[in-house]
Amino acid sequence: MTASAGAKPTAPAGLSRHAEAFLEMLAAERGAARNTLAAYQADLEDFAGFAAARGTPLHGADSALLRAWLAGLAAQGLAARTQARRLSAIRQFHQFLLREGIRPDDPSELLEAPRLPQSLPKALREEEVAALITAAAALPGKRGPVAAAVVEMLYCSGLRVSELVSLPAAALRPGAPLVVVRGKGGRERLVPVSERARDLALAARPEENGKASRFLFPSRGASGHVTRQSLGLILKEVALAAGLDPGRVSPHVLRHSFASHLLQRGAGLRSLQMLLGHADIGTTQIYTKVLEERLRALVAEHHPLASDPRRR
């Protein structure tokens, strides 16, 4: 439920009218949810208290005061993600002040956000992906071929979910093992598509008025293709049928599984970068951390000296 549906934020006495106007803008123009508004309000209150203790109103802070506040958050031991979220709220507030002409500058513009720890992709095991494919094909009616095609194309091609839902049906041609995909930033790349996935997807396409639909996974919605949310729900259904935790299965997880399994089987980072459509090789290098963790766990579990407590 969004705040625009009747949840007008109320700024406490400690917040200025500018903060109240900012919160109202979030509710009215951006449709911010209640929890989001509450989080922004709490972050503004925190900074307002810090600034007031130093004789400065909330809307009058300079970059030095903002840096001192950030340093204080770090000293409190707050997680980097919490620090980054609070800084984001304060940045948006100052951008609002600048747009409204309340301030001539944005003191938060040059502040550096806390460095967030790289999160390791959560990949499924190969046998779990195989179970998904089997379970998908066994779904009743036309859902089976569609679900199986979705699972195989995400896993065999490493496609982003946005790339898959917008893929035109004409992109799949008989006998063509590669498909041209337009990814982030309009960059095109070639991705592999298994013969089975192509046949399943083409066979599952419905026809409207005797004509095949434009998109590979069509919908009657405004976009003409299924939404990312709909595709996610298909995977949740398949996960349940395969006896897996639905929380562990998503389009993004299958993309991660594609990359992790290729790396485990000897694929090079440059090849992986091209297949995933990463503009920067640094983004692809996170998968080496996945491999390192798995190799470390493998040694810890199976090496004959691993059970010796003197060697830990």
Judge contact between 137 and 152, C-beta under 8 A: no
Active-site positions?
160, 184, 252, 255, 278, 287
**Same domain membership, residue 171 and residue 83:** no
Q: Is residue 117 part of a domain?
A: no
For 10-35, how does the pLDDT look when each residue is reduced to its tens digit (9 = 90+)? Answer: 444 457 899 999 999 988 887 878 88
Report pLDDT for 10: 43
Q: Which residue has the tokens 């929890």?
A: 35
Containing domain of residue 164, as a range?
126-300
Q: Is residue 281 part of a domain?
A: yes
From 50, 82, 99, give the residue that closes a domain.
99
CB-count exposure of residue 91 (10 Å: 0-12, 13-18, 19+): middle
Q: Is residue 90 part of a domain?
A: yes
Q: How confident is the model at residue 3 (pLDDT cuts 50, 70, 90)?
A: very low
Q: Mean pLDDT over residues 225-235, rounded?
A: 89
Q: How many domains does the chain have?
A: 2
**Same domain membership, residue 187 and residue 294:** yes
Report pLDDT for 7: 44
Q: Where are the beta strands (DSSP E) in 121-256?
A: 178-182, 188-192, 207-208, 211-212
Q: Mean pLDDT over residues 129-137, rounded?
A: 93
Q: Is residue 74 part of a domain?
A: yes
More confident residue, 80 or 120: 80
